Amino acid sequence: MATAVFHQALGTAQSHQHLQNSGSHLEFGNASLKLISKGFKVDIGLSRRGSYSSWKKKFGLIQALASQTSVVQPVSYPPNNSSDELRKKSSEAALILIRHGESLWNEKNLFTGCVDVPLTKKGVEEAIEAGKRISNIPVDMIYTSALIRAQMTAMLAMTQHRRKKVPIILHNENEQAREWSQIFSEDTKKQSIPVVTASQLNERMYGELQGLNKQETADRFGKEKVHEWRRSYDIPPPNGESLEMCAERAVAYFKDHIEPQLLSGKNVMIAAHGNSLRSIIMYLDKLTSQEVINLELSTGIPMLYILKGGKFIRRGSPPGPTEAGVYAYTRSLALYRQKLDDMLR
């Protein structure tokens, strides 16, 4: 109970920028929150049926709690051996998966793979529609592949978010890139979302099929052979990757870099590709190699998972603005939406 009240009160303190003060005291319903900088002492008092109890704890990682979306400091990851401990401590976090919108080579019916081509006009519209679907869901960090069609999808989607934070790609290629991309306004940093690009999230490398017309390739090699290359789990196209090979890199990256962020309480969006996202969903939903080959992801339709109690729960796709039906928000997401409504009035 005390932990829940602390997180609720801390969120309020952050929204009112009290964490930057040397010392703050907040009243939150029947709880009080006192923050003292440098010592990072948190004193929460709870009144229940006339009694009063206190809960005190020192927080060594207060910087991560106070500024979860800093784009100046490099993104840090907990050591791998702490994953089990984090799973036990994690409360609730949102994970949004979006397959990029239609690309110019999708439109031309060409095998794209790791060739870096942009979105079509339809793809741009799909990305914007995806953004409308997730406009009420909190986003603290964004991960994309190294390919422009995934990055365009993420950026366009975030233009529709009600919080109006700006996604900013982190450049850690070298020291100069880090220095030249620094932000020197604390207010601006608070209104930014760090975007991490990773080639491990790239589409499956289609080898010698890249750039070929799909229908012409089927006519040349036979429909059965091309279907085997495209839909089998462990058979790659000539000099390319199988889905199994793609899954090895994508899932390893997710487990090593993205999952620790979720376990620490951050809400994450991933904009990537059909096969890299299928691989991650295979891990999240514990699908077999036979089940995953039948999994189809539509372009520009986001999927939401909630990490709760160390387990990923699939919530499906939030409805679009013109769709009927009620989306099953969790209590935390409902509170977040209410906070957005209050801030935007």
230 annotated ligand-binding residue: yes
CA distance 218 to 230: 11
Three-class secondary structure of residue 194 per DSSP? strand
DSSP per residue over 252-305, as a string? HHIIIIIHHHHHTT--EEEEE-HHHHHHHHHHHTT--HHHHTT----TT--EEE
Active-site residue, 100 included = yes
Is 121 annotated in a binding site? The answer is no
Cβ neighbours of residue 297 closer than 8 Å, sequence gap 6 or more:
99, 274, 277, 278, 281, 303
Neighbours of 303 (CB within 10 A): 21
Is 275 within any annotated ligand binding site?
yes
Residue 203 falls in the annotated catalytic set: yes
> Is 314 labelled a binding residue?
no
Residue 106 is labelled as binding a ligand: yes
User: Exposed, middle or buried: residue 88 (CB in 10 Å: 0-12, 13-18, 19+)?
Assistant: exposed
Determine whether the annotation assigns residue 112 to a binding site: yes
Provide φ and ψ at 226, rounded to 5°.
-65, -40
- Asked whether 331 and 161 are in contact (CB, 8 A), the reply is no
User: What would the DSSP string read from start to end of 294-314?
Assistant: T----TT--EEEEEETTEEEE
Is 231 marked as binding a ligand?
yes
Q: Consult the annotation and say whether 101 binds a ligand.
A: yes
Using CA atoms, how far apart are residues 339 and 174, in angstroms rounded to an integer? 38
3-state secondary structure of 38: coil
* 100 known member of a binding site: yes
Active-site position among 126, 203, 241, 259: 203
Of residues 100, 129, 241, 273, which has the active-site annotation? 100
Residue ranges of the binding site:
99-106, 112-113, 149, 203-206, 214, 230-231, 274-275
Active-site residue set:
100, 203
Residue ranges of the binding site for substrate:
99-106, 112-113, 149, 203-206, 214, 230-231, 274-275
